[in-house]
Amino acid sequence: MATKAEARARIQEAYHDIGGPVFSAAEFTFTKVFIDYKGWDAIPDEGDIAISELAEKIAGSQELVDRIVTFFFAAKTLANPAPGRVAHTEKSRAYKSDQPTAWLYVHMFNNVFRSFAQVPTFFAKHGLSSPESVNFTPLGLAHGYEDKPAYEIIVADKAVHKGFNEALRSIGGMYSLRGVYDFGWLREPLAAENESQRPALVDVGGSHGLALCDAVRNNRFIPAERMVLFDLPQVIENTKKNHLNEDLQKMQLVGGSMFEPLPEPIHGALIYQFRRVFNDFPDQDVVRALRNVRKVAAPDTRVLVIEELLSEKRLPMNVVLDVCLLCAAGRRRNAAMYSKLAESAGFRLNGEFQHVNSQFDDFSVLEFVVT
């Protein structure tokens, strides 16, 4: 029998083991709360502020704000220069509105953190295997839906959709294809077929058109008029309303779904590109979308899949994002996995172009041609 002291030591150890994860979960939660209530913005950039004044600024009770701020002192997220006063640290400044970290927090909290809590329930209902359909996901359960596509859930909730969009926008710049993929081969067919006006580049799931703007800025020989932004109708409406810059105004913006027969204006394009789309979908949907492209492809059409791939090195950030994607029935894949899916849709891998930059944001361009 363990002595009382031994039992106590064991319990202390157990608390210690669980303390780290619980602390991180609390930090995630209350950081998101302070983002929502603009608590981070209410603290002056330089100098400090009384906790009571901070509570007033964010319309919170002083008692609660004091508890949360005390927690942030322990987390070393906020500094406590004098009793009852609070100041920013380097870490907390990144949570101010419109900073990329803040948007990623909102997106990750809404769509991943909340979903993680539903993963055990999901497995209990559907069995211990990866979600096979976007209709039945831990993300769905987290948002109160038993049977609804993950994207529809995100788009239907204004706050969640804004968090998702802004997170995408804030990190979109790092996926520039400049120096990674050479669009030079388009010069010839574009010149030869000037009359036909077939689309040069269709960005499927192109959202705000960041990828197309990057392509046109770096390849002025591709006429913006022959670029097509294709995404769900609500997303296209949002882009038209909020994000139209000079280049996008010249492009064609077409609403629809990659799972429905693709509309006439986007048939026969030189390139169909899927940037950061397929990671969000299970295998069967990737094949469905590629088959739809195959049906309208020309013999010289190329398909670009631009994604962060599953790394053989099992880097922590790479692998953790794979289990994040699991919550929405998505997954990270390597080139061989994509190749297999593309082959069953009538394409073969023609090249892989890598962007290797750091431990987590490496992405590849997989180029496929029709078989």
Nearest residue (beta carbon) to ligand SAM:
205
Structure tokens at 321: 């994002």
Distance, in Å, from the CA atom of 310 to the CA atom of 324, rounded to the nearest integer, reads 13
CB 177 within 8 A of CB 365: yes
- Smallest gap from Cβ 130 to ligand SAM, in A, equals 19
Give least dist CB 274 to ligand SAM, A.
7
The dihedral formed by the CA atoms of 219, 221, 224 and 225, expressed in degrees to the nearest 10: -160
Range list of β-strands (E), the chain: 49-50, 85-86, 201-204, 227-231, 252-255, 271-275, 302-307, 347-355, 363-370
Q: Would you put residue 260 in left (φ > 0), alpha (ψ -120 to 50) or beta?
A: beta
The secondary structure of residue 110, as a DSSP letter, is I
CB of 306 to ligand SAM, least distance (A): 7
Q: CA 234, CA 240: separation in Å to the nearest integer? A: 10
Q: Pinpoint the alpha helices (H) of 75-157.
A: 90-93, 100-108, 114-116, 119-126, 138-142, 150-156
> Least distance (Å) from ligand SAM to the CB of residue 134?
8
Query: Cβ-count burial of 41 within 10 angstroms (0-12 exposed, 13-18 middle, 19+ buried)?
Result: middle
The residue ranges that bind ligand SAM (CB under 6 A) are 151, 168, 172, 175, 204-207, 210-211, 231-232, 235, 257-259, 275-277, 280
Q: Which is nearer to ligand SAM, 54 or 155 (CB)?
A: 155
CB of 123 to ligand SAM, least distance (A): 25
Q: Give the integer Cα–Cα distance in Å for 166 and 106.
A: 9
- Nearer to ligand SAM among residue 276 and residue 333 (C-beta): 276
Min dist. Cβ of residue 86 to ligand SAM (A): 36
User: Considering the complex, what minimum distance in angstroms separates the CB of residue 248 from ligand SAM?
Assistant: 13
Residue closer to ligand SAM by CB (options 78, 211) is 211
* Alpha-carbon span 49 to 61, nearest angstrom: 16
